[in-house]
Chain A
């Protein structure tokens, strides 16, 4: 009985905090934002808090009532002591500091939790936890610090210091008791509790980072938990906290001089805050980098790293962040790789956040990474560089400024000469000096870079980028002789494709000094050899890659205003040969179409012989491949015919081979060199067949081209479409065609409605077979056996029913006997009755 009263006491005793109306609760915007951004976080708070606390309280009440009573008394004493010590702050003390934590209820409202009971027990739980964490070193210290960390803002540390000595002995007793309590708790509850603690600490930090900055340490300690789930939750909460509290500036290490100087309290406090932040941030990063090596935490750690990089690229320790993210760019885990790529891309896109410094660092890291791994990385690790942005006007601006400056100076000088007013001059100088100072200050504060600095960064970035690209090219060249097995997609040169793409994209930024070397490189890669008429079978580059080399070479050449004195003839030869090497399923048709577009369609007037050779080859090509390839070839062909009017002779069958026949009299369809093919002497018979092409757009184009034969050299046929070869290819490619809506099949009246009795699909051979019938004997035998089976079945059935009937009749005999006996008995019985 007594026990139950004690129980009641525990539940009822805690003084309830003053009730507050919902209106009175002020929820800051930050809180809302946090809840919005981290719904899982907030939810976990909402889910766990009350339940966990309740559970804890009831459990304590259930088991060790005496101890609970002890606890209770202890608390009372403590409170009295505190009240005695701080009579002034009476009003504040009424509200337990922990109650500052808002709690999201199940229906989604954020409520300030007031019941002191819960707060208290939560407090105790924290105490238990932290003590268990840093055992030995300072069990008392941990608990001592705790209330300090979460103490009310207005309480100064002095007061705490006064309070603590009185508390120490009590705390010891306290802790012993709690230790025992703790042992009773199952791991499940521990987990729940830890979760609650995490949430609580996190909320406190978000609410007021400056005073609660020490909680970071506690959170970090939690991250060392044995429970993997807790660790995961811990690093996630820390991520949320850091994302929120990291300042928008970089924290500088204080010099000794600065440390030596006396500073005000405020500054000290800030310094302490920054110092703690930096230290725990560092510890957190180290933890993350360590965890990243464990498979269980890999994804979470990578996610955290990427998120941090995205949120705080300007902050300290960016280098280690970047290093691990770049390392994971080539991860074999698709999700992690995607995350890292996205993080790096956002880094490139939002240069304002970090003044471009992170960009150059990451590009350099990538370069180092590529070097380290000998170009055997996932293509994605290079592909991210495609999102780099370079200001194209930078170079021009510079030169303009240079040009403008002397002019100004001159004018200045002139003015100076005309108006040599000393006073004014001094005034002006002072003004400009002041202006400069202001500007320097502004620059230091804001993130805008001055063009020079920016240019410098960009130049460095470009240098690192092209270094990577060239390394890859060189590597591809050197290893093309032997095959390496690679785990990454893209054959033995996984990086080549994105590298070529990047070169194409940034071709206008390539230094002219590199140009000739680059072109030579590309030439070699595209498979060109000095020995004519031999294709290297061990050339590991695919047709698409080789085509891409040609395309890049042309793009580079063209984007540098074609000023380069480079002979690109070899690339034409390459293309001429590669057209024959194309295989629809193996190679990418778009690349070929792109090559046709870049090399032939966009080019200026071609050499006549070369144009003729290409025209003939393209026509032949169109005959052997699908409609998309055919149309891109035909468009190119038409373009060539328009540009080279003399080649129109090929459209006509000029008896005698034509007056323009070249040195080679006979056409060699397999020739390696366009100049030696003798194509000019041929007739484009292919077009007559292409007119019968099943695809109406191809056949239409073929007739369109053929119609050029009847026109003057200056006239051009009606333009069917203005699409370039690549567009036309994509338009007709199967994927696109299937995505178009299906054309409805028209139903028309037929000429002949009904067919007479002749057979159309079956061969007479088969029909003859149908008429041969089975021999009479066989038929007889089969029919008879059929009958016999049927008879057998019916006979069997008949017999069976008969047998069953007989059997049951026999069985009835027993029944009959029984009945007989019964009737006898009853008769006897009746007799007895009558006798009686």
Chain B
């Protein structure tokens, strides 16, 4: 449906709208995406190394073996099942036979006209002009006809010819576009009413329905909803004629969306979204009665979703629709269609829309576990393609997307850990391949956001699920190895932002499994004193490490870069220290970093760094002395593991040692700084 609409809208815009083209492009930018074949869309999205299909084949989940590794390209995506499914709902168009008893009011709606003028758009002017032109030309034609009555006959003949010709063409086109949707008025015994819906009528129906959910007006309302949802799909269809005013449109949509769920619930007598109960009901009489209504409602909601373009409205619709998620579970293939639309919204970039569509996905998937695979694959692939480019603007979105994806993957840890293993295997194979050749082009395979974001995703996934699943434990070591490998293959100051990111990931990983990793060794490079060669600049260059993998060469020696460097290093170091601040060996952990920090503190010429450096040094020294004092009085030896574990256990629990508090303030600072950027 969406495809079709998109085609039509684009065709139309291309043909006629010079001025409106821009606007419609803006409005419906996502349609372009949707109309393309999925694989093609990804390819266009800036794939690094072309031929998508082949790579898709390569990245089969069974590719952990050595031979496959050899042929491995850069593709990280999971293969997608491209089968188009059509089922359940699409056989009917959702038209419901109406009760003719319902009141219709055909009052003149003067108010609407006025109101419509307020919502003016670029087309109105053009429409008016064209209206005039049509009138003029018609007059001319009439004159001609008057002059020569024989011409009327000739014209009539020609027109009939034209019609027959057009209908041929039309049917062709229709077949091409969508064969399922022709039967709007064909074959229906009870043809849909073509009465114009008025505001008054709708309010009356709404009142009736809210009083009694079983009222026949519900059918009328749902039909009106259907028309509203499909408005604009066929310019000459009845639905377009039935809806004339914006007010009516608004009324129908809002009422149905906000009330439908309650109405159906009361019809079915289910108080909350209890899936089991719904399933039990499915064979009952009640379900049989209500089912067509629900079907129509759901189907039209899908149409509406694919029609709407405004993020806020979509968010709103999704929020409303989430309550009815349970009904979707009755129609798996419709759910799939819904999920596809939702995944698209999820990646759209708007925070609230993304979040609400994710919540909807999660709702549907938790009710319909069969769809989980689809969502995992689609979500993962979308994540990869949307995380190819990172800048200051989309960092938050990518982060949110990643968190959502982790949520989704955490729904079924067993299943997703297999997927994770596949993906991590691919990452590792790419790394190995690169480490073999070490050529510049090959290095680009790991020196890109897609790769790093992919690692980050699995790091987050492992952290969240570490306690629950053993599979994740084995994943952890390979992910840690990948992180170290990337750091090893991309040395040098230029990659410092990347390095900091890797260090953060490592910190995250180690926090969850309580293993020791010498994270500071990754960032000792930052703590070296370097001269600043850049002259004083009047304008401050803004460097945000969060959106960089490597620093532009011209900034390498700038003051800002160094400042950023050291501040980020302080964060990473304090995270590392915080992890071990209660360990008996803390003084030794801190020894070498402290020496470096002190030296840097003495040498640095950047004044703004003195204070944070001094603060970290003081805090670490204080904690070191504290641990030293404590361990002087204990009697156990280093090889007494259990005693070592229980050392300072109480303090750790209470968590109010000064270093813990310091670390909290540092991480809070970071968050606030991060917020400032966005």
Contact = CB atoms under 8 A, between A and B. Distances in A.
B66 to A, nearest CB: 7
Interface string A794-817: 111111101100110110110010
A580 B432 contact: no
A423 interface: no
A745 B474 contact: yes
B664 to A, nearest CB: 16
Nearest to A686: B588
Contacts of B660: none
Contacts of A739: 432, 435-436
Interface stretch (A75-83, A201-209, A386-394, A651-659): A651-659
Interface string B507-521: 000100011111011
A767 B240 CA distance: 38
Nearest to B144: A813
Nearest to B122: A792
Interface string A55-77: 00000000000000000000000
A590 to B, nearest CB: 14
Contacts of B400: 766
Contacts of B359: 767, 770
B319 interface: yes
B37 to A, nearest CB: 26
Contact of B27 (A669, A738, A789, A798): A789
A738 B121 CA distance: 61
A219 B356 CA distance: 86
A810 B478 CA distance: 77
Interface in B1-42: 9, 12, 16-17, 24, 27
A742 B150 CA distance: 88
Contacts of B595: 580, 670
A186 B439 CA distance: 47
Given A580-B592, A689-B585, A750-B417, A792 B352 contact: no
Interface stretch (B228-236, B280-288, B541-549): B228-236
A583 B134 contact: no
B79 interface: no
Which of B16, B27, B158, B250 has the most A CB atoms < 10 Å from its CB? B250
Nearest to A742: B428
Interface in A679-730: 683-694, 703, 706-707, 709-710
B580 to A, nearest CB: 7
A265 interface: no
A791 B227 CA distance: 13
Chain B interface size, under 10 / 10 to 19 / 20 to 34 / 35 or more: 35 or more
B197 interface: no
Nearest to B118: A784
A424 interface: no
Contacts of A802: 134
B272 to A, nearest CB: 13
A749 interface: yes
Which of A651, A670, A749, A787 has the most B CB atoms < 10 Å from its CB? A787
A709 B521 contact: no
Given A620-B591, A686-B588, A786-B313, A770 B356 contact: yes
Contact of B232 (A782, A790, A810): A790
B484 interface: yes
Interface stretch (B85-93, B97-105, B632-640): B632-640
B471 interface: yes
Contacts of B591: 620, 623-624, 669-670
Given A746-B471, A773-B315, A753 B518 contact: no
Interface string B447-491: 000000000000010001100111100110110110011001101
A761 B407 contact: yes
Contact of A653 (B116, B137, B366, B637): B637
A693 B514 CA distance: 9
A257 interface: no
Contact of B491 (A585, A686, A794): A585
Dominant secondary structure of chain B at its interface with chain A = helix
Given A580-B595, A694-B515, A750-B414, A623 B240 contact: no
Contacts of B471: 745-748, 750
Contacts of A753: 412-414
Contacts of A2: none
Interface residues of A, number: 104
Contacts of B480: 694
Contacts of B528: 583, 586
A709 B510 CA distance: 29
B410 A761 contact: yes
A624 B429 CA distance: 28
Contacts of B424: 745
B641 interface: yes
Given A687-B638, A787-B246, A774 B410 contact: no
B484 A692 contact: no
Interface string A741-773: 111111111111111010111100011011111
Interface stretch (B188-196, B206-214, B304-312): B304-312
A108 interface: no
Interface stretch (B124-132, B341-349, B384-392, B648-656): B124-132
A761 B405 CA distance: 9
Given A689-B580, A737-B481, A707 B639 contact: yes
Nearest to A683: B638
B411 interface: yes
Contacts of B307: 790
A707 B168 CA distance: 91
Contact of A709 (B127, B131, B637): B637
B144 A810 contact: yes
Interface in B298-345: 307-310, 312-313, 315-316, 319
Given A750-B417, A754-B411, A773 B316 contact: yes
A226 to B, nearest CB: 41
A683 B637 contact: yes
Nearest to B420: A745
B418 interface: yes
Given A624-B592, A688-B639, A796-B127, A762 B404 contact: yes
Contacts of A734: 484-485, 488-489
B315 A774 contact: yes
Given A750-B469, A760-B464, A813-B144, A774 B316 contact: yes
Which of B119, B315, B492 has the most A CB atoms < 10 Å from its CB? B119
A703 to B, nearest CB: 8
A819 B155 CA distance: 13
A322 interface: no
Contact of A779 (B313, B366, B407): B313
B154 interface: yes
A98 interface: no
A703 B641 CA distance: 10
A544 to B, nearest CB: 15
B584 interface: yes
A626 B417 contact: no
Contact of B585 (A685, A709, A773): A685
A628 B204 CA distance: 79
Contacts of A687: 638-639
A792 B123 contact: yes
A92 B312 CA distance: 105
Contacts of B69: 742
Contacts of B677: none
B265 interface: no
Contacts of B9: 793
A85 B350 CA distance: 106
Contacts of B634: 653
Which 3 A-B pairs give the minimum distances between C-beta atoms? A790-B232, A792-B123, A734-B488
9 contacts: A585-B524, A585-B525, A694-B515, A734-B484, A781-B119, A787-B246, A793-B12, A810-B140, A816-B151
Given A694-B477, A752-B413, A786-B310, 12 more contacts: A583-B524, A651-B637, A686-B588, A738-B432, A745-B478, A755-B413, A760-B406, A761-B460, A766-B403, A770-B319, A788-B246, A795-B123
